[in-house]
Chains A and B, each alone.
Chain A
Amino acid sequence: MGIVWAAMGVGIIPIAIRQAMTEIAKKPSEENWIFWSIVLVVLMPIIAFSLITFGVFALKGEYESID
């Protein structure tokens, strides 16, 4: 499953960036800028970094010894 988590982490980066660009281009309001800035600067990096790192650890079998 490690590959799934890492792929999700990698996949979320272009999806979030493309969505943000489309939405801001559609309606370049201040509200839109703030919302997408929060998504791109705060939420997306946390999700991407944690899923990729978690996925790599899971791939290496780091979580098999927990029990």
Chain B
Amino acid sequence: MAQNLSASHSEEVSSTRKVIAASSVGTLIEWYDFYIFGSLAKIISEQFFPKDNPTAALLATLATFAAGFVVRPFGALFFGRLGDIIGRKYTFLVTLVIMGGSTFVIGLVPGYATIGFWAPAIVFVLRLLQGLALGGEYGGAATYVAEHSPDNQRGYWTSFIQTTATFGLFVSLGVILVVRQSLGIEKFTEWGWRVPFLLSIFLVAVSVFIRMKMSESPLFAKLKKEGKTSANPLAESFQKKDNLKMVLLALLGATAGQGVVWYTGQFYALSFLQNACNVEFVQSNLIISIALVIGTPFFVIFGSLSDKIGRKWIMMLGMLIAFVSYRPIYTLMYADANLKNKTEITEQTTVETKEAVKGDNNVTTTVTKKTYTDGTTYKETKKLTVPLDEAKKAALAEAGKLKPETKKETVLSQNIFYKMIGYVLIQVIFVTMVYGPIAAFLVELFPTRIRYTSMSLPYHIGNGVFGGLVPLISTRLVEATRPGPDLPPSDPLAGLWYPILIAAVSFVIGSLYISNKPAAMDVD
């Protein structure tokens, strides 16, 4: 008897592991697909959205923002409804195929130079499809895993789904770095950037094959068998007061704060290293990648802990220490990378100037290299493009556009490099605190018949809108402190006020109104 029970238990564990593996791999691939577009935004912009064509440039902006802000929540509604009517398994299989297919096709689309306006138009539509698919994927995967998990281990099992967003970002950065380093910058810019997109089709094929073999979630299958599925999940989710109030609580008390903490710790940190601290491309990506790898297991640790002490206070504590410590952390990051705080070895400073005629222009490139006593090196490349035609030259000078393009690259010393990893790691830990338990928290808020729809919308508004706006709003806040067009911002940390404010409001609302008791999930 005892042997039978033990065998049945180990079968159950093995089956749950398969469910988690199948769901997590697919979700990871979706995040990978979504992030490579963002990580390669500069190259994609050059290939498909030339700045001299205003419509194409507008499409570029829309492609960047629309996929996150508008389409993700719509994907959540569209696929959430589908998942609550026909089932979780088939819905998140469809989202995976759409995401993988559109990513693969982006890698095949000829550039603007070859097919003109069709290039940005096709890429724009494909990016929208990516956003739509992502909006449907996460809720499906989290719901599917949660509905397979026992009540006392739901935080633990769903936390594996939570690792996929960070791991997806890590894999996308890793693949881009490996392809870029093996092909060289020139080949990578020319055609190599397509490789990470094309690679997606193989990953998706494997994941679809695994997911096809999975069965429907037991709770949804039971609901369907009993004929209790919702006929109109959208109306039930958002028109009935009892459910709408929970959707609003999930958004304002949890996902909005979680979204800004997530984006600050992973994306704003990278942007800050590259733009405010001028840390060189490979080194800044390495700092983020290493911090992500070290930090990722904490999703599981906090997810598991939430099964024991409740979800609420782990998430709230994460938000609290995040908004309290962001300014001190970023002050340290800025100070440690600031060249004004270092001693230059002046005898090692070199300045090289080259002049060349390129087309109708005379290009003067000045490269200044500096070394500092702590081992930090700095390279400044100034490129001045002057038209050979005197009239054009005079017109540009009069318009104040005859200025050199300046590229600043700092390679930090070993010591500062490790310190930077530490600063980013602390922020990744905040992310794991708010994000690790949130899938279990969200699925437990809503009944099985409308769970997919109800949890997907607040998640994607919190992450897509509140979180997704962190880079845009933060950049604007920093720019607002710039005393003049060519002067540095007086407060390079001003961008942190947006995530600090949103996380603080979310913390207060969550602390006051969210329950710390994990709810049991059953067919309702």
Contacts and interface: CB of A to CB of B under 8 A. Distances in A.
A38 B245 contact: no
Interface string A43-63: 100100011011001100011
Contacts of A25: none
A43 B251 CA distance: 13
Nearest to B480: A23
Given A38-B472, A42-B69, A57 B465 contact: no
Given A35-B476, A42-B70, A62-B241, A50 B513 contact: no
B249 interface: yes
A63 B245 CA distance: 8
A54 B476 contact: no
B517 interface: yes
A1 B249 CA distance: 14
B61 A43 contact: no
A46 B461 contact: yes
Contact of A46 (B58, B249, B465): B465
Given A35-B476, A38-B69, A46-B465, A58 B61 contact: no
B517 A67 contact: yes
B512 interface: yes
Contact of B249 (A34, A35, A54): A54
A66 interface: yes
B515 A54 contact: no
A42 B252 CA distance: 16
B509 interface: yes
Contacts, number: 45
Interface string B504-519: 0000010011110100
Nearest to A4: B508
A50 B73 CA distance: 15
B461 A63 contact: no
A58 B513 contact: yes
Interface residues of A, number: 19
A38 B65 contact: yes
Contacts of B54: 30
Given A1-B512, A35-B472, A63 B249 contact: yes
Contacts of A5: 252, 509
B248 A34 contact: no
A10 B249 CA distance: 18
Contact of A66 (B69, B241, B513): B513
B469 interface: yes
B258 to A, nearest CB: 15
B244 interface: yes
A50 B252 contact: yes
Interface string B65-83: 1000110000000000000
B509 A66 contact: no
B251 A50 contact: yes
B444 to A, nearest CB: 12
Contacts of B472: 35, 38
A49 B461 CA distance: 13
A34 B223 CA distance: 46
Contacts of B512: 1
B461 to A, nearest CB: 6
Given A42-B70, A50-B251, A53-B248, A63 B513 contact: yes
A38 B515 CA distance: 33
Contacts of A46: 461, 465
A58 B244 CA distance: 12
A43 B476 contact: no
Contacts of A34: 61
A9 B61 CA distance: 28
Interface in A26-40: 30, 34-35, 38
Nearest to A67: B515
Given A46-B465, A57-B245, A51 B513 contact: no
Nearest to B248: A54
Contacts of B465: 42-43, 46
Nearest to B73: A46
B245 A62 contact: yes
Contacts of B248: 50, 53-54, 57
* The 5 nearest A-B residue pairs measured at CB: A54-B248, A63-B513, A57-B245, A66-B515, A67-B515
Interface of B: 54, 58, 61, 65, 69-70, 241, 244-245, 248-249, 251-252, 461, 465, 469, 472, 476, 509, 512-515, 517
Interface of A: 1, 5, 30, 34-35, 38, 42-43, 46, 50-51, 53-54, 57-58, 62-63, 66-67
6 contacts: A35-B476, A38-B69, A43-B469, A53-B244, A53-B248, A66-B513
